[in-house]
Structure 1
Amino acid sequence: MFERLMPHMRVNTIYDIDLHALKEQGIIGIITDLDNTLVGAKVPLATPELVKWLDVVRDLGFKVVIVSNNNQTRVAKFAEPLNIPSIHAARKPANRAFKAALTVLELRAEQTAVIGDQMMTDVLGGRRMGLHTILVNPITPADEGFGTRINRIMERFVLSRLRKKGLWPEEDRK
Structure 2
Amino acid sequence: MFEMLMPKLRVKTVFDIDLEGLYAQGYRGIITDLDNTLVGAKAPNATPELVAWFEKVKQTGFKLVIVSNNNMNRVSMFATPLDIEFIHAARKPSNSSFRRAIRMMELTPEETIMVGDQMLTDVLGGNRLGLHTVLVLPISIHDEGVMTRFNRRLERIALTRLRKKGLWLEEEKKND
Which TM bucket (shorter chain)? Answer: over 0.9
State the shift of 1:166 in Å.
1.1
Mind listing any 5+ residue stretches in structure 1 that lack a counterpart?
none
- Which position in structure 2 is the counterpart of 1:102? 102
State the shift of 1:24 in Å.
1.6
Let me know the Cα RMSD of the aligned residues. Answer: 1.0
Equivalent residue of 2:23, what SS? helix
Mind listing any 5+ residue stretches in structure 2 that lack a counterpart?
none
Q: Is the 8 A contact 2:33 2:115 kept in 1?
A: yes
Provide the identity percentage.
63
CA distance in 2, matches of 1:160, 1:170: 12
The residue type paired with residue 31 of structure 1 is I
- Which position in structure 1 is the counterpart of 2:34? 34
CA distance in 1, matches of 2:166, 2:84: 39
- Which position in structure 2 is the counterpart of 1:112? 112
Q: Which runs of 4+ in 1 moved over 3 A?
A: 170-173
2:145 corresponds to 1:145 = yes
CA distance in 2, matches of 1:159, 1:171: 14
CA distance in 2, matches of 1:67, 1:59: 21
2:154 corresponds to 1:154 = yes
CA distance in 2, matches of 1:87, 1:169: 33
The residue type paired with residue 148 of structure 1 is T
- Which position in structure 1 is the counterpart of 2:128? 128
CA distance in 2, matches of 1:128, 1:167: 18
The residue type paired with residue 27 of structure 1 is Y
The residue type paired with residue 55 of structure 1 is E
The residue type paired with residue 149 of structure 1 is R
CA distance in 1, matches of 2:18, 2:172: 19
State the shift of 1:11 in Å.
0.2
Q: Is the 8 A contact 2:41 2:140 kept in 1?
A: yes
- Residues 171 and 141 of structure 1: is their aligned pair in 2 closer, same or farther, counting only changes over 3 Å? farther
State the shift of 1:167 in Å.
1.0
TM-score (normalizing by structure 1): 0.97
CA distance in 2, matches of 1:171, 1:152: 21
TM-score (normalizing by structure 2): 0.96
Equivalent residue of 2:114, what SS? strand
